[in-house]
Amino acid sequence: MNTDYTQKPKTTLLFVDDEPLILQSLEVLFRQQYNVLTCSDPRQALDIIRQEKVSVIVSDQRMPGLSGVELLREVKDISPYTIRILLTGYSDLQAIIDSVNVGEIFRYINKPWRINKLRETIQFAAKVANERAWLITQKISFQEDKHMMLQSAAQTKKEILFLDQNQKHLQVYKDFFSNKYFVHIASNAEHAFRIVNEKPICVLSSDVRSHNECTSDFLIAVKENFPNMVLVLITDVRDANLTIKLINEGHIYRYLIKPFPKESLRLTIDSAALHHHVISENPSANLKIQEQLNYNRSSFDQNIRNYQELINSVKDNFSKRTIY
C-alpha cells in the first residue's frame, strides 16, 4: 500500500505594520495554520511580494513612507491574485474610499479586532486566494480573456439603475448614459427594489440617503440576492463606519463623492459594466458568490418580494455573520 506522507504546503500570509507588538500578536495567532511573514517596512513588503507567493496580505494604514492603501495598490499591480486586507485603528474616510477605488481591498477591519471574526475572515481570504492560484495553474486567466470579454460586453446594451432622491440628478444620469445603456431611475429604495426584481440590472449606482432613509441595508441586500450586480456609491455623505459596512458586506465596487466630473462617472460606470461581465462569466472571480458558497448561504430568496422583508433579512443575516 502506497501512502503519501507529503504535507500540503501552508498558505503564506504577510502582515505589515509599524508596531512590533501588533505583528507579534498576529504571528502568534496564525503561525500554527499558516506560513506567516511579518514586516514593519512597507517598501520591504513589496520586495517580499515580488519574491514570495503570498496568498493574503494584511496591512496597517498609517505607516511611515507608504500608507496601507498605497502599498495595497502596488501589491495589486505586482500580484493581482493576492487578497488584500486593510487592518487599521483609524477610520480615515479618504483612506477608506481610496481602499475601494485604488486598492480594491477584500476587507477593511478596524482595530481592535475580534479574534474569531479575524480568524474566519483570514481563512476565507486564504481559500479564495488558493482557488485563484489553482485557476492560474489551469491556465484560466481573467487577464488573458479581458480583451475578448470587452468585445463581448460591448455587443449587448446593458441595463443600469440609478437611485437618487434628487430628480434633477436622475434626469442628468439618464440623458448622459441613454445612448450606451438602458437606463432606469428610482427616487427611493422601494422603487429600486421593484426594478431590480423585474429587470436584468448589471450596475446599480446609488446614493446612501433617500428621503431621510439610509439605503445601506438595501444595497447589502441587493448584493446578497443579486451577487453579479455591481454596486457604485455616488453620494455627498461622508460616514466612515457606513462606508466600512458597505465595503465588507455590500462589496461596493467604486465610491464617488459628489460633486464629480461627468467623465469620472462615465469611466466608473463603463468599468463597472465590464466588471459585471467578468464576474458573470467567471463565478470564481465573484467574492460574494464565493462567500455564499463557503458559508452555505443561497443568494436570492424567492419568498422575499416585500421591501421590508428584504431589509429584515439583511439585519437577521448580519446578526449571524461570522466574518468581517
Report the residue count for the chain: 324
pLDDT of residue 209 exceeding 80, the answer is: yes
Residue 5 belongs to a domain: no
Are both 291 and 173 inside the same structural domain? yes
Q: What are phi and psi of 64, to 5 degrees?
A: -70, 140
Domain that holds residue 55: 12-137
Residue 190 belongs to a domain: yes
Q: Where does a domain end: 103, 137, 171?
A: 137
Q: What DSSP designation does 6 have?
A: P
Are both 113 and 253 inside the same structural domain? no
Are both 157 and 292 inside the same structural domain? yes
Q: What does each C-alpha distance from 49 to 45, 57, 141, 199, 204 come to in angstroms?
A: 6, 9, 20, 43, 34
Output the domain CATH number for residue 106.
3.40.50.2300
Q: Rg (Cα) of the chain, in Å, rounded?
A: 20
Residue 101 belongs to a domain: yes
Are both 163 and 274 inside the same structural domain? yes
Average pLDDT over residues 159-178: 95
How far apart (Å, rounded) are the C-alpha atoms in residues 272 and 270?
5
Are both 204 and 275 inside the same structural domain? yes
How is the beta sheet containing 201-206 ordered, strand by strand? Answer: 182-186, 159-163, 201-206, 230-235, 254-257
Residue type, 95: A
- Residue 51's pLDDT band, with cuts at 50, 70 and 90, is very high
Distance of CA 120 to the CA centre of its chain: 17
- The span from the first CA to the last CA of the chain, in angstroms, equals 45
Q: Of 187-201, 256-270, 304-318, which gets the smallest average pLDDT?
A: 304-318
pLDDT of residue 111 exceeding 80, the answer is: yes
Q: What is the pTM of this model?
A: 0.81
How far apart (Å, rounded) are the C-alpha atoms in residues 51 and 252?
31
CB 229 within 8 A of CB 222: yes
Q: Is 90 helix (H, G, I), strand (E, B) or coil?
A: coil
Query: Considering Cα of 306, then 310, then 311, then 317, what sign does the dihedral take?
Result: positive
Residue 7 belongs to a domain: no
Residue 183 belongs to a domain: yes
CB 110 within 8 A of CB 68: no
Residue reference for cell 437606463: 183
Are both 201 and 254 inside the same structural domain? yes
How far apart (Å, rounded) are the C-alpha atoms in residues 217 and 223?
10
Residue 4 belongs to a domain: no
Residue type, 54: V
Are both 283 and 155 inside the same structural domain? yes
Q: Of 292-296, 301-305, 315-319, which gets the smallest average pLDDT?
A: 301-305
Which pLDDT score, from 0 to 100, does residue 27 have?
Answer: 96
Q: What DSSP designation does 300 have?
A: -
Q: Is 313 helix (H, G, I), strand (E, B) or coil?
A: helix
Are both 204 and 304 inside the same structural domain? yes
At 75, list the grid cell: 501589491
Residue % of the chain over a pLDDT of 70: 82
How far apart (Å, rounded) are the C-alpha atoms in residues 121 and 87?
12
* Domain count within the chain: 2
Q: What DSSP designation does 284 have?
A: G
Which pLDDT score, from 0 to 100, does residue 291 have?
Answer: 77
Residue 3 belongs to a domain: no
Q: What does each C-alpha distance from 83 to 98, 191, 210 come to in angstroms?
A: 16, 36, 33
Question: Angle at the Cα of 84 (from 323 to 88), degrees rounded to 5?
Answer: 70
Are both 260 and 159 inside the same structural domain? yes
pLDDT of residue 139 exceeding 80, the answer is: no
How far apart (Å, rounded) are the C-alpha atoms in residues 66 and 83?
19
Q: Where does a domain end: 120, 137, 154?
A: 137
Which pLDDT score, from 0 to 100, does residue 2 have?
Answer: 47
Are both 78 and 190 inside the same structural domain? no
Q: Is 23 helix (H, G, I), strand (E, B) or coil?
A: helix
* Closest by CA position to 187, among listed 201, 199, 169: 169
Q: Where does a domain end: 105, 137, 169?
A: 137
Q: What are phi and psi of 90, to 5 degrees?
A: -120, 135
Are both 255 and 222 inside the same structural domain? yes
Question: How do 209-210 and 213-214 pair as beta strands?
Answer: antiparallel
pLDDT of residue 304 exceeding 90, the answer is: no
Residue 324 belongs to a domain: no
Q: What are phi and psi of 105, to 5 degrees?
A: -75, 160
Residue reference for cell 514586516: 39
Are both 76 and 59 inside the same structural domain? yes
